[in-house]
Structure 1
């Protein structure tokens, strides 16, 4: 029986009432599902309803939508878990402290969980979600029956971001934003790459590298680091851990064996699959089971997700929001749809990211034939005024035009849809990308598709 100590009280986990602030977040909602799976009472609040909050309610959680308020914290709550973006002035958090309830950030709570399992973490600036899904399915095929917390929805998990397992392993997508992954205790740590990402937290790529080094230092002596030898920054950071590291590379001979099996396109997905292959081997999964799992994998939610035909064009939804992700996804589109005209409808995610990586964004769309930019998605609690004054989507469109790119700016989703309706041709590829509410545009378009 799992028993957790919280403040002055000791509760069996199934007797807890856990309240989540920001329960609609992709990571927080997965943790909420974990607590539902062990029989705990779960409540949560968020500003806006979504398919994630609706799915939680269907699973039995009490979900309160609207402005945060002390009344949202129900009388039976024993513990509060909140997102790192939650300010200390949040009325629900203040009420929890007034009642002297246990309070933790999401990363702190998950960190506790990692010490109750033999934990496999998947981290890296790009490719975490897909690699986590692949690794989880490899472990499932190897009869390890893992519990999984992941930052996307997986078809094989019933379109969920959580899998409840009876085995001793937890598979966790470990995010580096706000140094969250430093709270975790991995036994096996898979790292896909290190890039200039989340610079609102780190300021410099050197600081990102230092954080990954600290994180990998948490792997015990009898544990394993699985690292991508093709990533130059990661190669330098991981090399210092010597024989503890198991390397993988798309240049390896086995890449030729794996690539024909994959149903997801792109060199980046081949690399992700090789990471999962290496993890499976480290964990003792038989090779035929590993290859079968990889061959059956058809992708995840908002990761090069095929949505059907819209106006005769192939509609693809993708979460990519960093220049390197945009380039990788466009390369995959070129591979999967050769000789087609590729549209990229993109919503920049966070003014600070756009400002820090401005020059990289200017070259990120080189493989697209036509680019449509939507207004920047303003990330609450993570923006600064100077960045908002310095950059925006209209300036990015102008910068792309100066490079000779067929680039346009749309001020709203309806305007973008009208522009698409007037310009799309049968056989085109319509790639809709971003980590913000551009998913609403994708959903609107998908509601008018036919099966490809």
Structure 2
């Protein structure tokens, strides 16, 4: 751990966040005293408490754990999504506690370790989780900080050794510029986070700055077609590393992996969608470059079960399919649509979408309308604000009017299960990065007739 050896108490403002909770789990596993604040109660915060981490939902200073109040040497870790008028944040700032952003802490942990980092506006969570799984299953001792819950481990942290670190590199707030990557991937560079970046060109510059962090002797893998230098990765195209000879059998992809040196045969991937094939090729290319024995990789990939809320099947019957996905950007919605149509051809598909952020809804309104129009029927929830204040005129009702599909309606979370059941759809797809995920288990039970 090095950098943080002498600190005993760690306090996280926003501990329920996916990146924050992985760090909390790491320090807890290292025998440190870990606590944190989060306003929401989720399955993840419940698990953290089960693991011995104190989670409080009060933002009052007097409700801080006693150990943190007494120990002025505590490290306070916060996320940029925390409002700057948060009472505990203000207290720690005024009282001269040592405070570090999540990204800086992750950056300090990667220093001194061989680091494989996966960046991209889409695909980074699945690719980094896949890469960590491939390396671990190949017998390598790794630590991985993931941006989602890997189904194989029911965790966003893999703590198995120090031969290498695998990290998801987050572009939000330019966080990934704190990392020290030896091997890196950039899966996509679509416009996003325009609330932070202002415009698309700045996002591209930020990704190029990330690529520039790779030292001599390192390597960058990137999705074929991006304006980058390194090793291109693709699906059935002219990329340096590509999936070729692709077949779909029993809902799984079967393919070979062509590199400049040779072709590796006999891979199987059970995650639907061309975007996941691209993710798999990227993870395999990085694993081979790192030195994972190629002989182990086909079996390892076949055993990868995906990431929660990334095209997760919650019901999979002949007469009813229920899929949950984190898609919150038009190109992610397009990818989900492609995967649904490929895996469930001819079925009637009902999409349920919760927009995430007023600014994103405004910035990509036309593209959202176009991608959401592709489904047979649409239920639209109110915009999930996350870190934002409302923007006048930017509402889900406004977005609904732009969608060129007659079978569309607004719905509240309270009436969601009744409306879904009344539709009798063959395939139901949940999409969104807000709190729509908290409704999934309840709806699953309703649809499966378990209530």
5+ residue gaps, structure 1? 6-11, 240-244
Q: CA deviation at 1:291?
A: 1.6
**Deviation sequence 1:84-105 (CA, Å, 0-9, x none):** 1223332222332344321001
Match of 2:86 among 68, 90, 106: 90
SS at match of 1:42: strand
Match of 1:154 among 150, 174, 192: 150
Residue in structure 1 matched with residue 262 of structure 2 by the alignment: none
Q: CA deviation at 1:156?
A: 1.7
Contact 2:350 2:429 in 1 (8 A): yes
Q: Partners in 2 of 1:161 and 1:270 — Cα distance?
A: 22
Q: CA deviation at 1:348?
A: 0.3
Q: Partners in 2 of 1:168 and 1:319 — Cα distance?
A: 31
Residue in structure 2 matched with residue 394 of structure 1 by the alignment: 397
| 1:250 partnered with 2:249 | no
Q: Partners in 2 of 1:204 and 1:278 — Cα distance?
A: 31
TM-score (norm 2): 0.89
SS at match of 1:389: coil
Residue in structure 1 matched with residue 432 of structure 2 by the alignment: 434
Match of 1:186 among 169, 181, 187: 181
Q: CA deviation at 1:451?
A: 10
Residue in structure 2 matched with residue 164 of structure 1 by the alignment: 159
Q: CA deviation at 1:418?
A: 1.8
Distance 1:336 1:415, change over 3 A: same
Contact 2:59 2:87 in 1 (8 A): no
Q: Partners in 2 of 1:290 and 1:310 — Cα distance?
A: 30
Q: CA deviation at 1:3?
A: 3.7
- Aligned-residue Cα RMSD (Å) equals 2.0
Q: CA deviation at 1:175?
A: 0.9
Q: Partners in 2 of 1:274 and 1:311 — Cα distance?
A: 30
Contact 2:243 2:277 in 1 (8 A): no
Contact 2:271 2:306 in 1 (8 A): yes
More deviation, 323-332/94-103: 94-103
Q: CA deviation at 1:184?
A: 1.1
Q: Counterparts in 2 of 1:332-411, with a 5 A limit?
A: 332-380=339-387, 382-383=388-389, 385=390, 388-400=391-403, 403-410=404-411
Judging by fraction of residues, say which structure has more helix. Answer: 1
Residue in structure 2 matched with residue 218 of structure 1 by the alignment: 213
Residue in structure 2 matched with residue 9 of structure 1 by the alignment: none
Distance 1:224 1:70, change over 3 A: farther
Q: CA deviation at 1:336?
A: 1.1
Distance 1:430 1:190, change over 3 A: same
Residue in structure 2 matched with residue 242 of structure 1 by the alignment: none
Residue in structure 2 matched with residue 26 of structure 1 by the alignment: 18
Residue in structure 1 matched with residue 192 of structure 2 by the alignment: 197
Q: Counterparts in 2 of 1:54-93, with a 5 A limit?
A: 54-73=46-65, 74-77=68-71, 78-93=74-89
- Count of aligned pairs between the two proteins: 424
Q: CA deviation at 1:446?
A: 1.8
Contact 2:138 2:300 in 1 (8 A): no
**Deviation sequence 1:369-417 (CA, Å, 0-9, x none):** 101100000122x34x5xx2132111222211xx24421111x112232
Q: Partners in 1 of 2:303 and 2:449 — Cα distance?
A: 20
Contact 1:45 1:66 in 2 (8 A): yes
Q: Partners in 2 of 1:44 and 1:199 — Cα distance?
A: 29
**Deviation sequence 1:154-178 (CA, Å, 0-9, x none):** 1222x11111121321111111011
Residue in structure 1 matched with residue 257 of structure 2 by the alignment: none
Q: CA deviation at 1:257?
A: 5.7
TM-score (norm 1): 0.89
Residue in structure 2 matched with residue 322 of structure 1 by the alignment: 329
Match of 2:139 among 124, 129, 143: 143
Residue in structure 2 matched with residue 8 of structure 1 by the alignment: none
Match of 1:39 among 13, 22, 31: 31
Contact 1:310 1:445 in 2 (8 A): no
Match of 1:293 among 297, 300, 311: 300
Q: Counterparts in 2 of 1:243-282, with a 5 A limit?
A: 245-252=230-237, 254-256=243-245, 259-260=253-254, 261-282=268-289
5+ residue gaps, structure 2? 248-252, 255-267
SS at match of 1:136: helix
Q: CA deviation at 1:116?
A: 3.2
Q: Partners in 2 of 1:216 and 1:149 — Cα distance?
A: 19
